[in-house]
Structure 1
Amino acid sequence: MLLQLEQDVASIDTYSNVYRDFPNEMTACRQTFEQIVQEHRLKLVRIEPYENVEQARETNEQMYKHLQNGDMPAVIQYVERMRQLLSGAVQMMQRQADLKIKNANDIDLVISKLTAYPVQDAELTAVTERVYQLYRTKHWEQVWHEYRDKLPCAADVAESLRQVQQWCDEEVQEYELARGI
């Protein structure tokens, strides 16, 4: 018990410094996520990193009250929560930036696949005509019908792609919604 009290007293300076240094930590957090916003030209659509920062500020004040009362287990919890909130603010912006890049890459990939599809389909039709003459129908007909049954999927993909492109537009920036398709 005495050892725990000595450790608690020794850690008071550390947590006092955490409280005093919080404005700098908060500013660094804001600068980091604002840099991400500027670099990727992001809008704050359905995400609020400033709300996390404000909650972290409130958490820091609560931590200080517990520090004044000597409630070190609560102090530790509040410090962890404060840092999670600040880290979460940066992470939510980084996730948006990552989604923007990933979605753009995926859109390009789907466009290239859809663009190449008619050529591949024409090639497959030519191969099918040769196969038709060389092999009995029972060897290839089922696979051909399965393929033809999937053709409407290309149109569905094209329609979904238009929706994804709209959501990923610079003015809309609904990257999370686009990811869900």
Structure 2
Amino acid sequence: FRIGLVEGPVSQNKDLVVENFWHDELVVVVPYHHPWAKKGSVTLNELSKARMILREVGSGTRKVLELCLEEKGFNISDFNITMELGSTQSIKQVVATGLGVTIISALTVRRECEEKILKAIKIQDLYLGRPLNILTNANNTKTKEERYFVDFLHNKDLFERVLNMDCSQDNFDDMQEE
């Protein structure tokens, strides 16, 4: 492989160069007018009683959630999981309709929170942080393009601007016309 992006901790390996480029946090996401939205945070006990829409088993987000819950003496089976989906975008759409709440990356809900569609809140008794890392092969020299890409990921201001871009088809079409 030439380059990879992974979430969560990476085991030491002499053939890998691991560079952290971002720290992500998983947050509880509720519809903007949900009663919890005004509270700003919930407990694990409250969360365990809510209808949960989660990422599928095996996803990086799900693994981080399961590991952090286990550290606090909880099991994912303690929660009322009503739906599992393979796409964060699908989860956000389902949560926006009021069918449940979720735990996903804070990075992925910025726009919906700004547009007052969804609200991100904290879990009082659990921190769900995870590093985002760039992996490269220690035995290969990066190409010019790979160096540009890695530099872009390390440029916090530019990376945040791209994360906050509206990539809807209408805006994409508008950009193509310019």
User: Fold conserved (TM > 0.5)?
Assistant: no
Q: What's the TM-score, normalizing by structure 1?
A: 0.21
Structure with the larger helix share: 1
Q: Judging by fraction of residues, say which structure has more strand.
A: 2
When normalised by structure 2's length, the TM-score is: 0.21
Please identify the structure whose Cα radius of gyration is greater. Answer: 1
